[in-house]
Structure 1
Amino acid sequence: MDRTIIKSVLLLLFFYSSLTIGQTDFSKESEELGKVHWYRDYDKAIAAAKRELKDVLILFQEVPGCATCRNYGKNVLSNPLMVETIENEFIPLAIFNNKGGKDREILAKFDEPSWNNPVVRIINTKGNDVVKRISSDYSSLTLLKRIKEALKSNGRIIPPYVKILDQELSSINTGNYKEKHFKMYCFWTGEKQLGKIDGVLSTESGFMNGEVVKVQYDPSVVDETTLENYAEKHSFKPVDPSKTYKSASNDIHYYLRHTDYKYVPLTELQQTKINSAIGSGKTGDEYLSPTQRKWFVNIIEGKVKKNKNLFDIPFSDAWDYMKKQFPITIASK
């Protein structure tokens, strides 16, 4: 090929690339942004929100940022179910508060300070705040609270997987739960029945001079008396907590363990609810997030190999493993 033609082609490629730098729809993962796939263009995010009839969740973030910024990305924006909630229920938009250009224009539009710690706003397609702006509060619970308020204000139903996230953040992750043991003739049945109760966070088969189920529950949702009355109707009896408890590790969530759900990354509460549903002759699909549901369908259809039981693997680790084996991005949701 003539050198002049080659040179011209290279110049055109360089010119095109210079025009498109920074114009991609989605951000690359960074510590400050967590694992959410963010839009980086305000106008494109608003257009997507109009198409999908959703609100826009804006993260004003310093990238690269200070320890507070990095911790927000790591601790709040990397929880798989939080990522699912943001990506599926909203149009996520990241605005860098330490950059110029379009980022600076959006900062000015919302009167946000430069070089600031994380701020979150949820807006409608007209650019108006739907809920109170989050500032100087870097907790997952506050972000989820605003998310629920925004969904309700938009007439949206809060999906079960978001309720799962709410219960786990409110109780399991903060230690705000109580524990009780019940004795019964069969702990498979015990887990199935006790896991149905709203407010029960986890069930675990074990032994305390016979078969028992250890129950962790949220006392703000179900009190001890209600729990004991329900147990009594099913012939389950409370056990003296001073007795030695031994986990029956191979029998925990027995019904779930014998289905393809064991190949899907699940939180502890999801495992409990899905196991109870299966044991009662139902499916556990309603407790899955959109990505989990896609994975499960592809597992059933044989598109994902059943080469690793994810049941006993920590949730975030199991999620990362599955994400590498069968990636699903926001663009495909």
Structure 2
Amino acid sequence: MKKFINDVNNVEEEMIEGMVKAYPQYLKRVEGTNVLVRAEKKTNKVALISGGGSGHEPAHAGYVGRGMLDAAVPGPVFTSPTPDQILAGIHEVATEQGVLMVVKNYTGDVMNFEMAEEMAQSEGISVKHVVTNDDVAVKNSSFTVGRRGVAGTVFVHKIAGAKAEAGGSLDEVQTIAQKVIDNVRTMGVAINPCTVPASGKPGFTLDENEMEVGIGIHGEPGTHREGIKPANEIVDIVLDKILADIDYSGTDVAVMVNGSGGTPLMELFVLNNHVQDVLQKKGIHVYRTFVGNYMTSIEMQGFSLSLLRLDDEMKKLLDAPADTPSFKVLG
């Protein structure tokens, strides 16, 4: 295993410390926890919390800041944070207006965030949650009951975060978050696996000429393996699956071409080139495009494609100012 690390047992700790030292204007660490919160606490507005296993950076701490999250709760690599860590995050950012938790649909995440929600509610804190499940590849996996929550979660952070920043009530912020979930679909492909530091070996193997279609963000298998194809043909496979799940015809969409951590930007832009051409031919108007690493899988060579069907409210919130370490919208 070749990695720029010191001790596999300290990777998450050193990563968190490194993030705080890199972005002190955005982040601070809650003492005695792994929880990262805004350097300046938001007041009199709904607070947003998300989190999950480490290894998906910049998700989720990279989205802590104005217009997006108030707290991120990282667990060990590809492992859910514990309920007490999540509760510590709730305690740190909760306001009288309440807290919305954005949870990806993985069994451990859902269970632990719901436990923290119940504990917070028993203390009189108003907490609600939504569960993202944007992956169209598989209905169930070794990690989930139902569809997995993947890169489309970033759109939930952005749009719900903007609604909270604008002063929306907890019910309103939850409603818009759910609207995003209902209208976003994602699918991924990988050509090389990642290695979890603690295991020291790749999570799966692919032959030199193979790709995994419908891969999960933890390396979970997708729909099938097949021979690697030119980029345009791979995009067609992914888009066909996404477009069969929601009727995007005649609508405005946001596009996210998300790298899995080991895919060069050059290749992501090659993929995006065909995405844009196909959508234009199908009469689907691209309102805004995001290309880069937003929800990674350590150093996996792969990508995912997300489409979000937009209405006027979502457009306005997507365009609203955001200032975080890894996601910025000028306004």
TM-score (normalised: structure 2)? 0.31
Structure with more strand by fraction: 2
Structure (1 or 2) with the larger CA radius of gyration: 1
Please state which structure has a larger fraction of its residues in helix: 1
